């Protein structure tokens, strides 16, 4: 009977020992799993920080490249504007004269055309009195830029004819208010195109001299 109780006690002790060992093993496995998860999370967080850093650097590099490109384009535009201004400085001085002539003559001729023809169709009179000579003047300039040595006498005749036409019409319109007013209007009508042609003629001689 004593042996039975001893075996039973030993079996209970053995079961308790196995249970403790199983629990210890389970706890160890749980701790290992937790440690593995923690390490994996740490590695993932480190990888994410590294990826974020690389993305930030890449985005900063792209922004810097775009900023440099914008700066380069702006400098190119400014350089182009400076070149254009340097090449057209004379035009910038002369064309305001043409604009002044147009501002003075075109409205006056439009009013005169309406009064003469008795209808709104008279507003196109400045096309003949003012724009005609300018059409020939610009044609002279364009042709000489394409070929400095080309003959443009026919176009210049057109300038003279239409300029004379404009002078007469502006003089007659202004003469209703007196001879002085007629002369002022006549001269104002052709002042811009005269200045333009003086510059165009000068530019042609300069090119011809450069060729020779």
Give the pLDDT confidence of 86-141 residue by residue, as tens digits: 887 877 888 888 889 989 999 999 999 999 998 898 999 999 889 999 999 999 98
Q: How far apart are CA 8 and CA 1, in angstroms?
A: 11
pLDDT at 207 over 60: no
Give the mean model confidence (pLDDT) for residues 49-70.
90
Q: Which of 195, 191, 171 shows the shortest CA–CA distance to 181?
A: 171
**pLDDT attached to residue 5:** 64
Q: What are phi and psi of 138, to 5 degrees?
A: -65, -35
Query: What pLDDT, on a 0 to 100 scale, did the predictor assign at position 133?
Result: 94
Report pLDDT for 208: 41
Report d(CA 91, CA 141) in Å as an integer. Answer: 11
CA separation for the pair 119, 109 (Å, rounded): 14
Residue 99 C-beta-side C-alpha neighbours within 13 Å: 6
Q: Hey, is 74 helix, strand or coil?
A: helix
Q: CB atoms < 10 A from the CB of 8, how many?
A: 10
CA distance linking residue 109 with residue 112, whole number of Å: 5
- In order, the DSSP letters of 111-161 are HHHHHHHSSGGGGGHHIIIIIHHHHHHHHHHHHHHH-TTS--HHHHHHHHH
- Would you say 174 and 185 are in contact if contact means Cβ atoms under 8 Å apart? yes
CA 89/CA 82 separation, integer angstroms: 10
Instruction: State the pLDDT at residue 174.
Output: 92
Q: Please determine, for residue 10, whether its predicted confidence score (pLDDT) is greater than 80.
A: no
DSSP 97: H
User: What does pTM read for this prediction?
Assistant: 0.58
Residue 156: CA atoms inside 13 Å, Cβ hemisphere, count?
A: 11
- Which pLDDT score, from 0 to 100, does residue 22 have? 83
pLDDT in the model for residue 70? 92
């Amino acid at each position: 009977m004593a042996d039975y109780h001893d075996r039973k006690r030993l079996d209970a002790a053995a079961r308790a020992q196995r249970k403790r060992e199983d629990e210890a093993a389970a706890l160890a496995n749980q701790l290992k799993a937790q440690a593995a998860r923690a390490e994996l999370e740490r590695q993932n967080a480190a990888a994410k920080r590294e990826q974020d850093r690389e993305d930030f650097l890449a985005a900063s590099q792209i922004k810097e490249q775009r900023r440099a490109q914008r700066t380069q384009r702006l400098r190119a535009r400014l350089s182009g504007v400076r070149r254009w201004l340097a090449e057209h400085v004379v035009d910038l001085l002369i064309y305001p004269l043409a604009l002044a002539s147009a501002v003075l003559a075109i409205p006056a001729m439009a009013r005169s055309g309406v009064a003469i023809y008795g209808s709104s169709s008279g507003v196109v009179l400045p096309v003949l009195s003012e724009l005609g000579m300018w059409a020939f003047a610009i044609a002279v300039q364009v042709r000489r830029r394409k070929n400095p040595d080309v003959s443009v006498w026919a176009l210049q005749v057109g300038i003279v004819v239409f300029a004379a036409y404009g002078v007469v019409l502006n003089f007659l319109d202004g003469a209703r208010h007196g001879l002085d007013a007629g002369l002022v209007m006549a001269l104002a009508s052709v002042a811009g195109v005269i200045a333009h042609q003086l510059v165009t003629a000068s530019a042609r001689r300069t090119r011809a001299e450069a060729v020779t």
